[in-house]
Amino acid sequence: MSEDAPVRVLLVDDERTLREPLAEYLTGQGFVVTEADSAAAARSRLLEGRADIALVDIMMPGEDGLSLTRHLIEAQDLPTILLTAKGEATDRIVGLEIGADDYVTKPFEPRELVARIRSVLRRAGRSAEDADAGETARYEFEGWQLDPLKQRLTDPDGATVPISTTEFRLLTVLLEHPRQVMHRDRLLEMVKGREAHAFDRAVDNQVSRLRRKMEVDPKDPKLIQTVWGGGYRLAAEVRRVAGPKD
């Protein structure tokens, strides 16, 4: 997504009386909105064209929003904001654990949603100013490479390893603090921001996902280590390498 291109929003909600006015409002704010009234319809829309961010209602008939969110994160690497009801606290926690970037509780102020969309996109993306400041320098560690600009992780053999936006941010925090113990609450705050609260299991879940992708034996991790009673530590020397890889 270039800085001049409009943000493409996939809005998934079976409640027409909410979905259509919200789509109209977001369009008026300069977004390009694609509507879907179900998870199946959302999957079809994504086959027709890419989105930059998804807004997903949790409670939908058929495949629910959490199942769809898992697919969007794992298969599409798509930043996702959950639209939730007041009584869905457990679902919100599960949503954060599987990698959702944020949530808003119905009824919500559309301006707040726009602010959250922009915040998520800022956290997930990189601006031209970031590039000028040298933020495109790659991380190299134990043969692995992480490209911050492309959010691309490559293994020691040069193969790309798909990671979600949340996994990318978690790994980046660990790479910025190599060999340091990062406590769960601090990791969650740095990855999720003020909306994270104290959902420790969300961090544990994301670490487990990274280990399955990066460790030779995820049950005996050598790279991302657990510090009992404390948190996690990246046990590797990290270098920043400027310039494009390709």
Please spell the DSSP secondary structure of 148-189, one letter per residue: TTTTEEE-TTS-EE---HHHHHHHHHHHHSTTS-EEHHHHHH
Rounded-to-integer distance, Cα 195 and Cα 72, Å: 21
Residues 13-48: pLDDT tens digits?
999 999 999 999 999 888 899 999 999 999 988 888
Share of residues in the chain with pLDDT > 70 (%): 85
Q: What is the pLDDT of residue 5?
A: 66
30: Cβ–Cβ under 8 A, 6 or more apart, which residues?
6, 7
Place 198 in a pLDDT band, splitting at 50, 70 and 90. Answer: very low
Rounded-to-integer distance, Cα 161 and Cα 151, Å: 10
Q: What is the pLDDT of residue 128?
A: 32
Cα-Cα-Cα-Cα dihedral of 43, 96, 31, 51, to 10°? Answer: -30
Rounded-to-integer distance, Cα 2 and Cα 195, Å: 27
Share of residues in the chain with pLDDT > 90 (%): 33
Residue 132: which region, alpha, beta or left (left: phi > 0; alpha: psi -120 to 50)? alpha
The CA–CA distances, whole Å, from 231 to 70, 143, 202, 234, 237 equal 25, 24, 13, 11, 19
Concatenated DSSP letters for 90-103? Answer: HHHHHHHHTT--EE
Rounded-to-integer distance, Cα 138 and Cα 151, Å: 10
Same fold yes or no, 8-124 and 130-241? no
Residues 109-128: pLDDT tens digits?
899 999 989 888 877 663 33
Q: What is the pLDDT of residue 7?
A: 86
Q: What is the pLDDT of residue 234?
A: 93
Beta-strand relationship, 138-141 and 144-147: antiparallel
**CATH assignment of 130-241, among 3.40.50.300, 1.10.10.10, 3.40.50.261, 1.20.1280.50:** 1.10.10.10
Is 216 a residue whose pLDDT tops 80?
yes
Among 47-56, 75-84, 125-134, the range scoring the smallest mean pLDDT is 125-134
Among 105-109, 119-123, 158-162, 242-246, the range scoring the smallest mean pLDDT is 242-246
Average pLDDT, the chain: 82
Return the structure tokens found at 122. 């800022």
Give me Rg for the CA atoms of the chain: 18
The ranges assigned to domains in the chain are 8-124, 130-241
CATH number 3.40.50.880 is the correct assignment for the domain at 8-124: no
Is the pTM for the entire model greater than 0.75? no
- Range of 57-66, 119-128, 163-172 with top mean pLDDT: 57-66
Q: What is the pLDDT of residue 217?
A: 94
The CA–CA distances, whole Å, from 84 to 13, 35, 56 equal 11, 17, 9
Is 195 a residue whose pLDDT tops 70?
no
Q: What is the pLDDT of residue 130?
A: 39
Place 75 in a pLDDT band, splitting at 50, 70 and 90. Answer: confident
Is 134 a residue whose pLDDT tops 50?
no
